[in-house]
Amino acid sequence: MTYVNLQLNPERYTGYSGPYAKRIWDAVYLDNCPKYLAGEICPEKNILYKLISGLHSSISIHIAADYLLDEALNTWGRNLTLMYDRVLKFPDRVDNLYFTFLFVLRAVTKAANYLDEASYDTGNPEDDLKTQSWIEQLVYHPKLKFACPLPFNEVRLWKGKGEPDLMQQIQKQFRNISALMDCIGCEKCRLWGKLQFLGLGTALKILFSVNSQEHLHKMFQFQQNEVIALINLLNRLSESVMLVHEMWPSLEKVMGKQVSTPSDQPSMTGGHV
């Protein structure tokens, strides 16, 4: 097994772009909804589209937030124009980012007991203790309970017609998406892509497979990689949300026009299934 220090390999601009990168994204969306390219979204699978689009927004925001501004001088910094062009000028992409953030936050809150009691083995006892304490602080933070209302009614999703099919379909799609990640021709993008999609798959597993904390604890044994992926995904998404808020005031200056603020956006939790 190979261990990678994520702090030494931050998610940032890598130069991976062009038809290959676009083909991967198109395949990810197409797998989720065959009519994506025609601009039509299958309503019953809307939730998956929103989650993937929200994650895509987050990846684009991190690329823009840590961008190679001057290759000759190796100067890195924020590329506000890119952030605006890829994400902020599309209200639905910002909306989907918030949706995905709330979705993952809710999964973490729901799995609070499990995450608190899980053992964290970093190979360094001091770090293990710190990790345990930080997880406890995170999952039982009083603000979380208030900040995390139902982003959607997950129970309703499974109580609809053909629910077992839909769940199996989503699981299959996630396997396909994970396989697609192996085709990414940029090592760092592949690392972060795989990690974040695994985190999203874990959040789906938590929210859709069980209904109570008690069951969650008894029935699930998450792999260490899934827990790592879930918490890292939450971190990426929360940083993206923070960046959107931080960047907004500077945007008007850079774009030279008035742009709508996140609070002008349609409901962040809108489009419930």
Ligand X SMILES: Cc1cc2nc3c(=O)[nH]c(=O)nc-3n(C[C@H](O)[C@H](O)[C@H](O)COP(=O)(O)OP(=O)(O)OC[C@H]3O[C@@H](n4cnc5c(N)ncnc54)[C@H](O)[C@@H]3O)c2cc1C
- Binding residues for FAD, as ranges, are 12, 14, 25, 53, 56, 86
Site for ligand X in 70-89 (CB under 6 A): 86
CB of 16 to ligand X, least distance (A): 4
Task: Give the residue, chosen from 6, 21, 144, 148, that forms a contact with ligand X under the rule CB under 6 A.
Answer: 21
186 is an active site residue: yes
> The tokens 């053909």 sit on which residue?
162
Give the H or E element holding residue 69.
strand 67-70
148 is an active site residue: no
Nearest to 185 by CA among 10, 14, 12: 14
Complex with ligand X: residue 25 or 84, whichever CB lies closer: 25
C-alpha 237/C-alpha 268 separation (Å) is: 14
Q: Decide if residue 63 touches ligand X (CB under 6 A).
A: yes
> Of how many residues is the chain composed?
273
Task: Give the residue, chosen from 57, 79, 109, 202, that forms a contact with ligand X under the rule CB under 6 A.
Answer: 57
C-alpha 5/C-alpha 9 separation (Å) is: 7
35-to-40, 49, 76, 167 alpha-carbon distances in Å: 5, 11, 38, 20
CB of 12 to ligand X, least distance (A): 6
> The tokens 């839909």 sit on which residue?
166
Helix, strand or coil for residue 221?
Answer: coil
Task: Give the residue, chosen from 14, 46, 113, 169, that forms a contact with ligand X under the rule CB under 6 A.
Answer: 14
Calculate the CA dihedral of residues 125, 230, 239, 175 and round it to 10 degrees.
Answer: 140
Task: Give the residue, chosen from 13, 98, 114, 222, that forms a contact with ligand X under the rule CB under 6 A.
Answer: 13
Q: Decide if residue 233 touches ligand X (CB under 6 A).
A: no
Complex with ligand X: residue 28 or 135, whichever CB lies closer: 28
Task: Give the residue, chosen from 4, 9, 22, 147, that forms a contact with ligand X under the rule CB under 6 A.
Answer: 22
Site for ligand X in 179-208 (CB under 6 A): 184, 188-189, 192-193
C-alpha 74/C-alpha 93 separation (Å) is: 30
- The residues near 89 (Cβ < 8 Å, ≥ 6 apart) are 259
Please list the active-site residues: 186, 189
Binding site for ligand X (CB under 6 A): 11, 13-14, 16-17, 21-22, 24-25, 53, 56-57, 59-60, 63, 86, 93, 184, 188-189, 192-193
